[in-house]
Structure 1
Amino acid sequence: MNIQNRIDSVDIFRGLTIVLMILVNNPGTWSHVYAPFLHATWHGYTPTDLVFPFFLFIVGCSIVFAYQNKPADSSTYKKITIRALKLIGLGLFLGAFTIQSPFFKDFENIRFPGVLQRIGVVFFFASILFLKFNWKTLIGICAFLLIVYWLLMGYVPVNGMAPTFERAPNNLANYLDVVVFGSHSYKADYDPEGFLSTLPSIATALMGIFTGLVLRSKRVKKELLLCGMGILMLVVGYVWDIFFPINKALWSSSFVMVTAGWANIILAIIYYVSDVKGIKFGSIFKYAGANAIVLYFLSSFIGKIMGLVKVDGDTSLKGWLFNTIYVQDFLAMKTSSLLYALSLVSFYVLLGYILYRKKIFIKV
């Protein structure tokens, strides 16, 4: 979308999400982090577990604005494919880069899945589906993905053992991650952006597409419809949790429903305040949202460099800055860790503001 066609609430929501992504990924030290800024150990969810699905949700929402009036032809498919490959390529670069010559890890140590890789894959499939099918068919596809994933995870034996939703070798998603990715996973036994869990993550983007269609429609009281959708999704998600636990690492079907429910409710509130009532707020997030992928990539890349560069012996540049500036006798370590993260967020929000004011919107 160009600047004239943007809906404030969508940019604010996207920016809020990217700010939270940077915040939770960059504490001063992982040894001291307040509980809400950590992922759930396995089942259940924390506020941090909402962040990535919120971003995939808003990717789906943005697909509507970008492609609703575009022809489903080879030119459009080519643009979608190129953008998806760029996202995947950036993610692989982040996983492979190191500061030591030849500046890339040994092949066997490179992680193949990742956040940007998942965004690229989800964007590709969700965009193609949106171009080819109407909203009724998309609802059917979304339901199919979530139900099939549940059945696969809950009823398909693994190596002759009964399946489980726990972190174990007879968890189908974990098992396939080991088989498909091997040493190229984030963890030895599974990857949070794993192979099989990509299916329900596409459904998360489809949920965002449904919301985007509501926002683009001529309906009145859109905020009420979005709230109603969100409440219904929460109810379905919590009922489904009884049979398929809410789990971010598995991207369980109940997790998709609950996170999409919260996304709709929060976006509805932002939409009502900013787009219906015309109350100007959240510009700080709007600036970041206009160049979300760029800010996320830079925060990840610079953060990685700061962790690899050594100063004062074996201390990283990040560790030196944190211990020198933020660790103080009058501050709890968790507070110091949070202040470090907030400082980084402030820097990237400022960068987002500069890009926005100069009307620079970098498409990845």
Structure 2
Amino acid sequence: MEQNEGGYFMKDRILSVDIFRGMTIVLMILVNTPGTWSAVYRPFLHAGWHGYTPTDLVFPFFLFIVGTSIAFAYKNKSVDASTYKKISVRSLKLIGLGLFLGAFTLTFPFIKDFADIRFPGVLQRIGVVFFFASILFINCNWKTLIGISVVLLLGYWLLMGFVPVNGVESTFDRAPNNLANYLDVQVFGTHIYKDDYDPEGLLSTVPSIVSSLLGIFTGLILLSKQPKKANILMGMGGALLILGYLWDVVFPINKALWSSSFVLVTAGWANLILALIYYLTDVKGITFGSIFRYAGANAIILYFLSSFISKIMGMIKIDGDKSLHGWLFDTVYVHDFMSLQLSSLLYGLTVVAFYCLLAYILYTRKIFIKV
């Protein structure tokens, strides 16, 4: 039986995990491809800084389910040199794809000037998180992983909150004396998302590893012989939410910084939603969300293609300086009888429908592309 990018055999799959992964990747594509960024409904935008919107849940949900897949892939697998090689190669492929997305341009030699290339990115973070979470999982028991998670989250909070920056008291605000922002500027220079911060920056990658470790714990519960697994996940999700909101008082929930409170709150929601899907599909046997299952089986390649094609459509110019993306949106989706926000959303839903169709074709032909 062929394997998909999650790494475990099709016969061993838990349906709710694929549905959750597929829902996540579909939402990632939707929030990344509106018709115009000037008219987007608030839930489909990131929070300005502190706090979170539904959109801010999407990326941590994906890292969470990466951890769940790691538990499925390596729980009963013998570990040798080839295991470390496969983990390393896959991580490097993800990082390489991310760097390619950031560096690609349409003009020869098809690579941006070096000074304009962004080094961090979504796929780069997935690659780094997958590497460390996998290595930790195959070398540590669950109790040790809990200890590591606690140390990483507490350590990150202490670093961010109490280490002065150039002799100035540190802050959690978007400012030069924010330690995460400061380190990104010092290490990456111009190779970051904004002049003063990067949402996939260096230091904030550390707590994002815990997002995946928390997904591993969920995976172990799903693989266990524990009765009433949905109840356990619900309880764990609720506990994480409470702890996250308590921590928010001193370390604000913040996606750009991937704050420790953000890790707990997003993992809490992930457990609650996955518990509901698990109860409906794997316990009650209710059939729904097949299209998400198809998308979940080829999640990474769908995300890469959507990002790459969207970038190309933004680069191709027609009708003067208007991009192919802009021309298509204005010509097909913008009408006087509907709001620009609705037009923008309909464009995004059309993009999602295209990739769902592609996912269906790949799935029915048993094509599972591993990265």
TM-score range, shorter chain: over 0.9
1:111 aligned partner, one-letter code: R
Distance in 1, Cα, partners of 2:330 & 2:191: 32
Q: CA deviation at 1:125?
A: 0.1
Match of 2:48 in 1: 41
- Out of 120, 132, 154, the position equivalent to 1:125 is 132
Match of 1:205 in 2: 212
TM-score (norm 1): 1.00
Distance in 2, Cα, partners of 1:71 & 1:155: 42
Match of 2:313 in 1: 306
Q: CA deviation at 1:73?
A: 1.4
Distance in 2, Cα, partners of 1:180 & 1:215: 40
2:27 is paired with a residue of what secondary structure? helix
Match of 1:174 in 2: 181
Q: Deviations over 1:215-244 (max 9, x none)?
A: 000111000000000000000000000010
Match of 2:100 in 1: 93
Percent identity over the alignment is 74
- Out of 98, 106, 111, the position equivalent to 2:113 is 106
Match of 2:330 in 1: 323
- What are the residue-to-residue correspondences of 1:20-35 with 2, within 5 Å? 20-35=27-42
1:183 is paired with a residue of what secondary structure? coil
- Out of 9, 18, 25, the position equivalent to 1:11 is 18
Shift >6 Å, 4+ stretches: none
Distance in 2, Cα, partners of 1:95 & 1:2: 32
Distance in 2, Cα, partners of 1:237 & 1:245: 9
Distance in 2, Cα, partners of 1:362 & 1:216: 24
Match of 1:214 in 2: 221
Matching of residue 245 in structure 1 with residue 235 in structure 2: no
Match of 1:224 in 2: 231
Q: Deviations over 1:58-81 (max 9, x none)?
A: 000000111111222111000000
Q: Indicate conservation of the 8 Å contact 1:14/1:292, yes or no.
A: yes
1:75 aligned partner, one-letter code: S
Match of 2:200 in 1: 193
Distance in 2, Cα, partners of 1:277 & 1:128: 35
1:184 is paired with a residue of what secondary structure? coil
Distance in 1, Cα, partners of 2:219 & 2:117: 36
Q: CA deviation at 1:6?
A: 1.2
Distance in 2, Cα, partners of 1:300 & 1:5: 30
Q: Deviations over 1:320-348 (max 9, x none)?
A: 00000000111100000000000000000
Matching of residue 116 in structure 1 with residue 123 in structure 2: yes
Q: Deviations over 1:147-182 (max 9, x none)?
A: 000000000000000010000000000000100111
Distance in 2, Cα, partners of 1:268 & 1:87: 29
Match of 2:87 in 1: 80
Distance in 1, Cα, partners of 2:356 & 2:165: 46
Match of 1:339 in 2: 346
Distance in 1, Cα, partners of 2:327 & 2:9: 41
Q: Indicate conservation of the 8 Å contact 1:72/1:132, yes or no.
A: no
Matching of residue 274 in structure 1 with residue 281 in structure 2: yes
Q: Indicate conservation of the 8 Å contact 1:308/1:316, yes or no.
A: yes
Match of 2:151 in 1: 144
Match of 1:353 in 2: 360
Q: Gaps (5+ residues) in structure 2? A: 1-7
1:207 aligned partner, one-letter code: L
Distance in 1, Cα, partners of 2:284 & 2:348: 33
Match of 1:260 in 2: 267
Q: Deviations over 1:176-201 (max 9, x none)?
A: 01001110001111100000001100
What RMSD, in angstroms, separates the aligned Cα atoms of the two structures? 0.5
Q: CA deviation at 1:2?
A: 2.5
Matching of residue 69 in structure 1 with residue 76 in structure 2: yes
2:254 is paired with a residue of what secondary structure? coil
2:76 aligned partner, one-letter code: N
2:147 aligned partner, one-letter code: G
Q: Indicate conservation of the 8 Å contact 1:56/1:205, yes or no.
A: yes
Match of 2:163 in 1: 156
Distance in 2, Cα, partners of 1:6 & 1:242: 39
Distance in 1, Cα, partners of 2:77 & 2:198: 35
2:72 aligned partner, one-letter code: F
1:208 aligned partner, one-letter code: G
